[in-house]
Amino acid sequence: MIRFWSYKRELKRYKKLINQKINKSLNSGQIFFGNELKEFEKKFINKYKSKYGVAVGSGTDALFISLKSLGIKKGDEVITAANTAIPTISAIRSTGAVPKLVDINDDYLINVSKIEKEITKKTKVIIPVHLYGQVCDMDEIIKISKHYRLKIIEDCAQSQGAKYKNRFCGTIGIFGCFSFYPTKILGTYGDGGFITTNDYSLYKKAKRIRFYGIETVDKNNKFLNKYYSNEDGINSRLDEIQASILNFKLTLIEKLIKRRRQLARLYFKELKSTDLILPKLNENSDHVYHLFTVRHRKREKIIKELKKHLIETKIIYPYPIHKMKTYRDYFKNHKRLKNSEIKAKEIFCLPIYPELKNSEVIKVCEKIKKILEKIN
Ligand SMILES: Cc1ncc(COP(=O)(O)O)c(C=O)c1O
């Protein structure tokens, strides 16, 4: 069986070290906001060249808290890509704002030439989603945001470590939002998320919002033990156990991304002679291959045949946002979202994770080649 994803091999390999980290944090006497969290926040921003960072409970919370820190509320509009993950939209909706969707390019990233059409007097924010591991065309998005005085929140949930013209994603917009959901580039063994920013007052605000709106330290960084809320906040903590696992896994991150790239290269090599449409690379960005997304008009057949040979694949995502009943009413501009609709019908993702073996990738490719010969 070739699993689409599993943490079991990773756990087997690093079990001793992960258990040591968990035990150490359990014995520290700190469950939240302890040394592991402080260390992780510091290491994450150092690695990704951001001035400030706030660890939170999930990637969804990272987006919600960032939007809330900018004062986004009912009556506002936020622009994003039609093919994004549901949580981008749920974060926007949780503020009361309305999402406005833009179609995508063949690289599955927002089509920047279509953003301006969606801008109205109510538009406040653009959320470029760096989907599958590649960064959007940020130069153009910055130009538009400057012209219309909009803020940019980067959705980096799938692209940790990817760069745009030598700048890490998450440092280009006013906020960068990351997810540590187990399947992600830096996955933990539970939920987690992160917000990066270079703006001190927004950092302080995001930090308050993650903890019921409470200011925890005074001007001299002295701990304030006061249950006093300075603003409307939520509870979105990253606990010490998760932070300790993340501290360990962050030391491996370059190795993990390198391995994903090796596997992607192997897929490209093995599949280049087929009519499967392989990932289109964006020349200004590198790719961290959170997912290896391919396309074929007969995808259902391919998926079914692969399953028969015990090879798992996944469609990420099968429905563009405007095709889901929950969100349908917000979008009257379906005709403008054709590319995301076509892509959603043809895409599927092949297994790619650091512990996957070369021989397994070769096996997947051989099976695909045979299936294509039969169905074409
Ligand atoms: C593009 C994108 N944005 C946001 C999120 C939300 O992250 P989380 O699952 O940690 O809340 C995800 C994760 O699924 C994602 O893929």
- Residues 307-345 pLDDT 10s: 999 999 999 999 999 999 999 887 776 678 999 999 999
Please tell me the pTM assigned to this model: 0.97
Residue-level pLDDT at 58: 98
Q: Which residue CA neighbors atom 7 of ligand 1 most closely?
A: 59
Question: Which atom of ligand 1 is the closest one to the Cα of 58?
Answer: 10
pLDDT at 341: 95
Separation of alpha carbons 116 and 252, rounded Å = 40
Q: Which atom of ligand 1 is nearest to the CA of 179?
A: 10
Res 105: pLDDT:
97
Beta carbons within 8 Å of 247's beta carbon, 6+ residues apart? 21, 36, 39, 40, 43
CA of residue 87 to ligand 1 center, whole Å: 6
* Residue nearest (by alpha carbon) to ligand 1 atom 12: 157
Candidates 166, 173, 98; CA nearest to 327 is 98
Residue 175 three-state SS: strand
Low pLDDT (below 50) residues in the chain: none
Q: Which residues line ligand 1 (CB under 6 A)?
A: 58-60, 84-85, 87-88, 129, 155, 157-158, 179, 181, 191, 193
**Cα of 228 to ligand 1 centre, how many Å?**
31
Instruction: Please give the pLDDT value at position 375.
Output: 94
Whole-number Å distance, alpha carbon 59 to ligand 1 midpoint, is 5
- Give the residue whose CA is nearest to atom 10 of ligand 1: 59
pLDDT at 332: 72
198: left (phi over 0), alpha (psi -120 to 50) or beta: alpha
Which atom of ligand 1 is the closest one to the Cα of 130?
1
Q: What is the mean pLDDT of the chain?
A: 96
Give the position, in ligand 1's atom list, of the atom nearest the Cα of 63: 4
Which residues face 154 on adjacent strands?
A: 176
Measure 180 CA to ligand 1 centroid, in angstroms.
Answer: 9
Q: Using CA atoms, how far apart are residues 89 and 317, in angstroms rounded to an integer? A: 14
The pLDDT assigned to 224 comes to: 80
pLDDT value at residue 330: 79
By C-alpha distance, which of 203, 249, 215 is closest to 10?
249
pLDDT value for 346: 98
